[in-house]
Chain A
Amino acid sequence: MAIDKNNHLREVLDTHKMHHVQDFVNKVKNRREEIKVKMHNHFGNSKYSSFGSGSFAKHTAINVKFDFDLVEPFKHSAFNTLQEMFDSVYDFLAEEYKNTGVTIRKQKVSIGVSFPIEEGDEKPVELDVVPGRELNDENYPESHDLNLCFNEDHWGFKKGSSQKTNIQKQISHIAGKTSEREIIRLLKIWKKQKGKNYKSFVIELAVIRALDGYKGDSGLWPRLKYTVEYLRDHIEDTSFHLYDPGNSNNDVMATMDSYDRFSFKTDMESMLVNIDSDPDIYLPFYFKVNEKYSGYKEKDTGSPYPSSPKRFG
């Protein structure tokens, strides 16, 4: 029987929902709370209230890949430089978790905190602490604008340089966009399963752009197909820009070089051609159900593969 594309994609989404890993999510949340308290106790009035960000906060997380970020907005007067802010947060966390088995490492704009893996868990609890500083004294409560510190050379910026952003605006940009979020999650599932390195933020903004004003069939497959066609037709175009909702001067597409744009376009093209040619085979290939949480069909483990010697070298 031919595959029902909408049903299949629904199953893909369902089996990648976060509630399947709720116990683990709770552990991460507890750790996030722990860090939040430590940061508050240490930095006190030098900063504003921290808040959660990342794919979990945006409701675009999938249970095979998700980010829990903790944004720490600092007052402008707290540090002379952004690098000083970044290093202070790193030094504090490194000291706080010294000799506990917790790994603290400097990343592009955040400090990665990785707790030791616990028995029964597949992976360790990991969190990113993102320090940001308000642009001017007492500007943050009203604007929510922050300057992040680029700790390493990135996108042509040098160490210690800044990038203005507004994480609240980024979160609210996607808030309420349930339909878009489903397509974003499907493409993130594809990205994870196929080991693609495209930035999730690009996918997120591009899907919202693609489905802006979409009036077609509301099924998952028509929406996904429409989006994939849009990406195929636009992503390689040098005049195609996607601006960070938190900073309209920041063109997120500028982070994608021409090779990556071409690769993305080719991936979208191949996906469409192949699914069109044989959806029964190719749709589950590009969008695979997370068998671990699938209660609908029997897992085909235990069968020998291949059944006959047909592969040679």
Chain B
Amino acid sequence: MGYSGLVKRQARKAFSLAKDLAVDITLTKKSSTGFNFGTLEAGMGVAQTLIVKGIIVDKTKRSSESKVMKTQVIMLSEDVSSFSDFDTLSINGLTYLPERPLKDDGYTLTVTLVKEV
């Protein structure tokens, strides 16, 4: 096995050793079927859900007036490679949207999730 496979295996092992620090994240993948100019509504495809592990590394609320909570999460790149603009992620029953840009080093994906509070 080359170094790439070795690092991937060690990254997965690190998530396993993190135990309850690695929380379950429900990724709901949605795609759009386009926009209907007759009804002026967006068409949505069938949603698919997937449960992946993620480690929360930061939570930020910019100010007391801000209605947005940002949560930074690290996930394994093998589990999630990208998000569509309609994908959502749920952690402990709270639903977040992934923010751009995503930072992917090929082994772990770091993403900032946003949610109105």
Chain B binds chain A: no
